[in-house]
Amino acid sequence: MQRIVVLAGGIGGARFIRGLKSAAPDAEITVIGNTGDDIHLFGLKVCPDLDTLMYTLGGGIHEEQGWGRADETFVVKEELAAYGVGPEWFGLGDRDFATHIVRTQMIAAGYPLSAVTEALCARWQPGVRILPMTDDRVETHVLIDTADLGDSVAGDAAEGRKAVHFQEYWVRLRASVDAHAVVPVGADAAKPGPGVLEAIAEADVILFPPSNPVVSVGTILAVPGIREAIADAGVPVVGLSPVVGDAPVRGMADKVLAAVGVETTAAAVARHYGSGLLDGWLVDTVDADSVPSVEEAGIRCRAVPLMMTGTEATARMARQALELAEEVRA
Q: Does 125 bind a copy of itself (CB under 8 A)?
A: no
State which of residues 2, 65, 73, 152 lies at the interface with a copy of itself (CB under 8 A).
Answer: 73
Residue 6, interface with a copy of itself (CB under 8 A)?
A: no
Nearest approach in angstroms of CB 74 to a copy of itself is 9
Question: Residues 211, 249: contact at Cβ < 8 Å?
Answer: no
Among 94, 145, 202, 327, binds a copy of itself (CB under 8 A): 94
H-state helical runs in the chain: 11-23, 48-58, 75-82, 94-108, 113-124, 166-167, 196-202, 217-221, 226-232, 253-259, 266-273, 291-296, 311-329
DSSP 51: H
- Which residues on neighbouring strands pair with residue 143, listed in sequence order? 163, 181
DSSP string for 70-101: TT---HHHHHHHHTT---SSS---HHHHHHHH
Residue 84 found at the interface with a copy of itself (CB under 8 A): yes
- The Cα 18–Cα 287 span in angstroms is 24
Residue whose CB is less far from a copy of itself, 97 or 166:
97
Which of 2, 59, 65, 85 contacts a copy of itself by CB under 8 A?
Answer: 85
The 3-class SS string of 149-184 reads HHHHCCHHHHCCEEEEEHHHHHHHCCCCCCCCEEEE
Distance from C-alpha of 107 to C-alpha of 122, rounded to nearest angstrom:
17
Separation between Cα atoms, residue 141 and residue 36, nearest integer Å: 9
Binding-site member from 1, 25, 64, 108 for a copy of itself (CB under 8 A): 108
Give yes or no for residue 120 binding a copy of itself (CB under 8 A).
yes
Which region, judged by CB under 8 A, interacts with a copy of itself, from 4-12, 39-47, 187-195, 272-280? Answer: 39-47
Decide if residue 110 touches a copy of itself (CB under 8 A): no
Candidate residues 3, 22, 28, 76; the one interacting with a copy of itself per rule CB under 8 A = 76
- Binding residue for a copy of itself, selected from 25, 43, 234, 261, defined by CB under 8 A: 43
83 binds a copy of itself, rule: CB under 8 A: yes
Closer CB to a copy of itself, 65 or 73, in the complex: 73
Could you give the dihedral angle defined by the CA atoms of residues 232, 25, 212 and 228, in that order, rounded to the nearest 10 degrees?
-10
- Determine, following the binding rule CB under 8 A, whether residue 25 of this chain makes contact with a copy of itself: no
Which is closer to a copy of itself, CB of 44 or CB of 205? Answer: 44
246 is in an annotated binding site: no
Q: How far is the CB of 325 from a copy of itself (least distance, A)?
A: 36
CA–CA gap between residue 273 and residue 293 (Å, rounded): 14
Do residues 282 and 306 lie in contact, with contact meaning Cβ atoms separated by under 8 Å?
Answer: yes
For the annotated binding site, the residues are 51
Q: Can you give the binding site for a copy of itself, defined by CB under 8 A?
A: 42-44, 73, 75-80, 82-85, 94-95, 97-99, 101-102, 104-105, 108, 120, 122-123
